[in-house]
Amino acid sequence: MNQRLLALDVFRGMTIFFMIIVNTPGSWNFVYAPLLHAKWDGCTPTDLVFPFFMFIVGVSMAISYSKFEGVKNEEWIKKAVSRGLKIILIGLLLNWFPFFTKNIAELRFFGVLQRIGLSFMIAAIMVSFVQKKYLWIMLGAILISYWVILLSAGEGALSLEGNLVRTIDLALFGESHIYTGYGIPFDPEGLLSTLPAIGTVLLGYIISKNMMVQADNYKKIQNLLVYGIGCVSLGLIWSYLGFPINKPIWSSSYVLFTGGLAMMFLAGMIWIIDVLNYKKWTFVFKAFGQNPLVCYALSGLIVKTMLLISIGEQKLYAWLYTSVYQPVFGNYFGSLMFALSLVMSIWVIAWLMDRKGIIVKV
């Protein structure tokens, strides 16, 4: 693999690794606080995982797009739309699985993969028509417009019950197709909040374009840190001025805050891997980073399959936790060890694929 991309693959692999960890505790009643999302406003370590991945999508898109520079836009757009639609379809199929137990009339339309596919597809079209020097302006316009649109709802515009993300999803798709994990129908991957998520992808793309022109790793690290500190500061200021850092509605301050942290984290990866040349540890996360879609989809399929199998009065998922992990490790640590065991079982598959040079691309 090209060493220039190793830090990015490791970063991507880390996000998938922790995405699976936070999604699959042995019991949701026993989860360490840092592994839970903020209930509404605020940001925990878990709230960094998804935007970090979206940022990486933008960085990777810049690398991929560079191969198409000098050719007609139609070729790049065709590839981007095809890939985006495939990712969306995989997300819908994962939501529907197992097909024989879930009525399509109750299928949740949105989800993590749907957001990735839609954001990638739209961002890819944008960068093919907008000159690089104007992308910062486009990003600013997206983030400010989203703020204005949400505030137009009036009183309670940034609350769980009154935000326009929920209102629009309910009007277009109905309660039966929307996530209900917040106690009421509200989808954290809803249609309107995909707009600022596109902004996260664009932020990764813009930073990658600025970073890639630097051959010197020290200069790359310096640029990432400067941009990162700037974005984090802007995000905190915007949050203080009335648009709180909030993952469920993917607030504009959240885009800047998490995007800035992603830049700083990537700078750290480049420093450790490319400057200090500490690479031996990277094989764990590199395997996930090479095939992130496969790993994420496998985690969902494994969990849903375990929930189909009964052992006595319990499903296999709950039985493994209560009969194996909880007695040995206790409540909270046992719940974490359950998740670690699941993610490492997927890692074995990813590692074998990496050893054989198998990279699944949609």
- pTM, 2 dp: 0.94
Mean pLDDT over residues 202-207, rounded?
96
Angle between helices 292-306 and 283-290 (to 10 degrees): 90
How many CA atoms does the CB half-sphere of 300 hold within 13 Å?
A: 19
Please determine, for residue 4, whether its predicted confidence score (pLDDT) is greater than 60. no
Contacts of 252 (CB under 8 A, 6+ apart): 143, 144, 146, 147, 196, 199, 238, 243
Tell me the pLDDT of the chain averaged across its residues.
93
Mean pLDDT over residues 316-322, rounded?
96
Q: Beta strands 314-315 and 310-311: pairing type? A: antiparallel
**Per-residue pLDDT tens digits for 95-108:** 999 887 778 888 99
C-alpha closest to that of 101 among 310, 299, 297: 310
Please determine, for residue 3, whether its predicted confidence score (pLDDT) is greater than 60. no
Please determine, for residue 201, whether its predicted confidence score (pLDDT) is greater than 50. yes
For 92, which DSSP code? H
**Per-residue pLDDT tens digits for 122-142:** 999 999 888 888 999 999 999
Mean pLDDT over residues 257-284, rounded?
94
pLDDT for 2: 42
Task: Assign 71 a pLDDT band (cuts: 50, 70, 90).
Answer: low
Please determine, for residue 271, whether its predicted confidence score (pLDDT) is greater than 80. yes
CA 105 to chain centre: 27
Residue 269's identity, in one-letter code, is M
Residue 25 near residue 35 (C-beta atoms within 8 A): yes
pLDDT for 211: 78
Of the two residues 66 and 6, the one the predictor is more confident about is: 6
pLDDT for 334: 97
Please determine, for residue 148, whether its predicted confidence score (pLDDT) is greater than 70. yes
Q: What is the residue-wise DSSP string for 159-218?
A: STTT-HHHHHHHHHH-GGGS--TTSSS--TT-STTHHHHHHHHHHHHHHHHHHHT--SHH
In this structure, what token pair is assigned to residue 165? Answer: 């993300």
pLDDT for 169: 96
**Per-residue pLDDT tens digits for 170-191:** 999 999 999 999 999 999 999 9
Mean pLDDT over residues 186-200, rounded?
97
**Per-residue pLDDT tens digits for 24-46:** 999 999 999 999 999 999 999 99
Please determine, for residue 1, whether its predicted confidence score (pLDDT) is greater than 50. no
Task: Assign 70 a pLDDT band (cuts: 50, 70, 90).
Answer: low
Mean pLDDT over residues 56-70, rounded?
85
Mean pLDDT over residues 54-71, rounded?
85
